[in-house]
Amino acid sequence: MEELVPPIPVSSEATITLTTDFGLDDAYVAAMKGVILEINPGATIVDISHSIEPQSIRQGAFVFSTAYAYFPQDTVHLIVVDPGVGSQRRAIIIETDNAIFVAPDNGVLSYVVQAYTGKRSFRATLTKLPPELQAFEITNPKYWRHPVSSTFHGRDIFAPVAAHISLGTPLNELGQAITSVSVFPLPQPQTDATGNLIGHILHIDHFGNLITDVTSQDLPPGEYSIQVAGHQIGSLSHSYEQSQGLLALIGSSGRLEIALKGGNAARLLGSKLGDKLRITRRRTGRNRG
Amino acid sequence: MEELVPPIPVSSEATITLTTDFGLDDAYVAAMKGVILEINPGATIVDISHSIEPQSIRQGAFVFSTAYAYFPQDTVHLIVVDPGVGSQRRAIIIETDNAIFVAPDNGVLSYVVQAYTGKRSFRATLTKLPPELQAFEITNPKYWRHPVSSTFHGRDIFAPVAAHISLGTPLNELGQAITSVSVFPLPQPQTDATGNLIGHILHIDHFGNLITDVTSQDLPPGEYSIQVAGHQIGSLSHSYEQSQGLLALIGSSGRLEIALKGGNAARLLGSKLGDKLRITRRRTGRNRG
Amino acid sequence: MEELVPPIPVSSEATITLTTDFGLDDAYVAAMKGVILEINPGATIVDISHSIEPQSIRQGAFVFSTAYAYFPQDTVHLIVVDPGVGSQRRAIIIETDNAIFVAPDNGVLSYVVQAYTGKRSFRATLTKLPPELQAFEITNPKYWRHPVSSTFHGRDIFAPVAAHISLGTPLNELGQAITSVSVFPLPQPQTDATGNLIGHILHIDHFGNLITDVTSQDLPPGEYSIQVAGHQIGSLSHSYEQSQGLLALIGSSGRLEIALKGGNAARLLGSKLGDKLRITRRRTGRNRG
């Protein structure tokens, strides 16, 4: 059979992204890049982030979710936040219309799965994939680096598998088709007794901006005021420049974001992940008087 | 008309550099790279620095100024230190004989303009460009990513414009010619009442070396002694190895630099940006006795 | 003679790695990349680490040693940890069957030399190379960037030399053959009076894992218990997942490593480089009762 399929090329210009909790001080990320380039010298490798807090699957999932959609068609995304390395947790591949994702099966692809299912609260930890997503468990050691270290599957399993995918190796060569993958329930705002939306801080970025679990879809057209850490923000701004002091706006990833003009909102407010904020829909001026 | 010009290629090996204040923990830089590679998969993207202090146009301008001259002919340099994102500040392109610069019009290209005008003190914030520099305001939304986020022009305007430039899109397709751009007065040494040169610390590097606004052009051939933070340095050294303890030399960017052999001068001296140092021209040995 | 050899190409897809103590905040690394790309626009440049502690030759040597073996055949590795820049220390090239190394001759290639000699304790600082290693002192200024800064050979000598090597320039064009290079004695475990192995902490990684100078070769098959910072670890684990709390295993670089499941071992133990640990071979269960 194999003689009939076209041969896999030895180099291809595909883009491969890397997201890990390895940091950049050690040479772990570099070892993965070396392994990739040995298999596909033509690969363009792009770092998404290597500053995920060690073993924080949720932060890795979120940071990755803010970038993958901007990459070219058929990009291979490799995410290695893998506290279970060396255990029985599965290693998986998910294929969508636009991209291919390679990661441990620990929920780090939850936002990707949500983008296709539309669901934020998954019924079970193991969720059935919609038909437009193909998934595979990585099981074929032919495409791994040997000997496989029990502490560094990023280098010995994930990197070579991603490189082989970038060359066009059929996914069903790399492992067996599966129909369910692990996810975690994604943070989402609640509605309180008086009808206000209660959101949560999901991420604090480099500028100290507070990114929340409230999306533009959660906010029907209207005027809103926001209470956060004892401060009141009277309305949504259009840009960082528009207001003075503390402000709220829909940020570049489509989420409600609290910022401090020319400063660091997280430092001013002493914010931490999970902190709540209340969004109140205001009566509009037209309704008054 | 358009049918007569050669078509823009779909991939080109051009180099694009990135300088931002985004840090590397979030995925903001990666999103820009994804956008660039989608437009020009052949681009070689090089990070200059993403550690510019948030919204510090002056630091961004300086750090960028120490690297751009070493890149290949026709490199596209993208600088996004942009506190005014979403406001009415212009987005611009400057073209020189060697390179093309894409940035907000907020002074972050002041050192580039100085390199062509020779001026350190500009008469006005808005300075007329010399004829050898072509400049354009970025106004043609055809080359942007849509919808344009009001908080992330780096991803939605600057990155796609830089990528299209790297493909050879004519600059006058991207916007309208302009003849003046914003600059800030560059730091420069003063001469005090007794004829000594008073310089300033412009940058403290990773090694704790103090880079000053005194250039080799400010120091005619001769012998100098330097006073800084209560310490006296008797002469200029040729290399870090040549002297013991605190030393002064002309560093790799052509500027007077204070260093501590095998140590961190900034930590020893408790230095901060803007601190002064005094340079005294010494009578040479030949004049004595 | 030169007319008879095939011409050097003007672009080649070779991989060049960079290891420095420059950090990523300044533009020093970027300047080196610009110089490389100007000479070889087709080079793929990979960062190994730029977080080597300033002027720490030993840390640079170690971190580099954990990554270089994973890169493609004929990769050019450039290591610039160079406290002696501008002094009389030599700049060298070492060629092996697999790769080419460019660095100051200060011991930063000690692990590379060891991999070929098998020796950990070198008789002299200057060690004779085995015949399978070719080495050259970089002496031909034709391949350098001019003027050469006395404080930044990384940009003006090492980067252009590495780029020319990646194009295929013969090494004997770049300098003169040498037969000895500088090395430092590599850390290695000792045996104490009671026959136990005394190892040392060689590196603390991003996760707080303690990497030691005890290699898998130092541990013949058997059962071991480990004493470190007043804690007792009863046996070697296979993976981070297998045990609870503090654990010991052979890590991904073939070295004995102390880790804390889901935590930071270095922080728990207050560890620092050079700290000792004792490895005791246990009587196996079969010998008991």
Summarised one tens digit per residue, pLDDT across range B177-209 is 999 999 998 999 999 999 899 999 999 999 999
Per-chain mean pLDDT for chain B: 92
Chain C residues in contact with B205 by the CB 8 A cut-off are 25-26, 28
Residue A3, pLDDT score? 56
Give the tokens for residue C32: 């080196």
Chain A residues in contact with C251 by the CB 8 A cut-off are 149, 151-152
Average pLDDT over residues B12-34: 96
Which residues does chain C have with pLDDT short of 50? 1, 287-289
What subunits make at least 3 CB pairs under 8 angstroms with C?
A, B
Contact B149 A252 (CB under 8 A): yes
Q: Is A223 helix (H, G, I), strand (E, B) or coil?
A: strand
Nearest to C151 among B72, B240, B264 (CB): B240
Q: Return the residue in B20, B24, B26 with the most chain A beta carbons within 10 A, the one to mutate for interface testing.
A: B26
Average pLDDT over residues B154-166: 98
**Would you call B155 an interface residue with chain A, using a CB distance cutoff of 8 Å?**
yes
Least confident interval from A126-130, B78-82, B155-159, C75-79? A126-130
Q: Is the ipTM of this complex over 0.90?
A: yes
**Would you call B13 an interface residue with chain C, using a CB distance cutoff of 8 Å?**
yes
Residue A242, pLDDT score? 73
Residue C262, pLDDT score? 87
Contact A25 C249 (CB under 8 A): no
Contact A87 C241 (CB under 8 A): yes
Contact B66 C152 (CB under 8 A): no
- For the cut 60, the answer to whether the pLDDT of residue B213 exceeds it is yes
Residue A72, pLDDT score? 97
Query: Which of B164-193 are b and which e, b meaning 16 or more Cβ less than 10 Å from the residue's Cβ?
Result: bbbbebebeebbeebeebbbbebbebeeee
Question: Mind telling me how many Å the CA of A205 is from chain B's nearest CA?
Answer: 6
What subunits make at least 3 CB pairs under 8 angstroms with B?
A, C
Q: Return the residue in C24, C25, C51, C57 with the most chain B beta carbons within 10 A, the one to mutate for interface testing.
A: C25
Average pLDDT over residues A152-173: 97
B-C CB pairs within 8 A amount to: 101
The residue with greater pLDDT, A8 or B180, is B180
Question: Mind telling me how many Å the CA of B182 is from chain A's nearest CA?
Answer: 18
Least confident interval from A65-79, B23-37, B232-246? B232-246
* Closest chain A residue by Cα to residue C53: A25
| % of chain A exceeding 70 in pLDDT | 95
Q: Return the residue in B252, B256, B267 with the most chain C beta carbons within 10 A, the one to mutate for interface testing.
A: B252
Determine how β-strand A44-49 pairs with β-strand A126-128. unpaired
With bands split at pLDDT 50, 70 and 90, how would you rate the model's confidence at A288? very low
Could you say which residues from 54 to 83 on chain C have a Cβ atom under 8 Å away from some Cβ of chain A? 63-64, 66-68, 70-73, 75
Q: Whose CA is closest to A112, among A71, A144, A141?
A: A71
- For the cut 80, the answer to whether the pLDDT of residue B251 exceeds it is yes
Q: Return the residue in B55, B146, B151, B156 with the most chain A beta carbons within 10 A, the one to mutate for interface testing.
A: B151
DSSP code of residue C158: I
Per-chain mean pLDDT for chain A: 92
Question: What span, in angstroms and rounded, lies between the C-alpha atoms of B177 and B171?
Answer: 9
**Would you call C10 an interface residue with chain B, using a CB distance cutoff of 8 Å?**
no
Q: Report the predicted TM-score, pTM, of the whole model to 2 decimal places.
A: 0.94
With bands split at pLDDT 50, 70 and 90, how would you rate the model's confidence at B289? very low
**Would you call B20 an interface residue with chain C, using a CB distance cutoff of 8 Å?**
no
- For the cut 70, the answer to whether the pLDDT of residue A4 exceeds it is no
Contact C37 B44 (CB under 8 A): yes
Tens-place pLDDT, residues C9-57: 888 889 999 999 999 999 999 999 999 999 999 999 999 999 999 999 9
- For the cut 50, the answer to whether the pLDDT of residue B1 exceeds it is no
Reduced 3-state DSSP string for chain B: CHHHCCCCCCCCCCEEEEEECCCCCCCHHHHHHHHHHHHCCCCEEEEEECCCCCCCHHHHHHHHHCCHHHCCCCEEEEEECCCCCCCCCCEEEEECCCEEEEEECCCCCHHHHHHHHCCCCCCCCEEECCCCCEEEEECCHHHCCCCCCCCCHHHHHHHHHHHHHHCCCCHHHHEEEECEEECCCCCCCEECCCCCEEEEEEEECCCCCEEEEEEHHHCCCCEEEEEECCEEECCEECCCCCCCCEEEEECCCCEEEEEECCCCHHHHHCCCCCCEEEEEEECCHHHCC
Question: What span, in angstroms and rounded, lies between the C-alpha atoms of C34 and A176?
Answer: 44
Which single residue is written with the structure tokens 């050879």? B168
Average pLDDT over residues A85-109: 95
Chain B residues in contact with A249 by the CB 8 A cut-off are 150-151
With bands split at pLDDT 50, 70 and 90, how would you rate the model's confidence at A244? confident
Tens-place pLDDT, residues B66-98: 999 999 999 999 999 999 888 889 999 999 999
Give the tokens for residue A158: 């994930």
Tens-place pLDDT, residues B109-124: 999 999 988 777 766 6
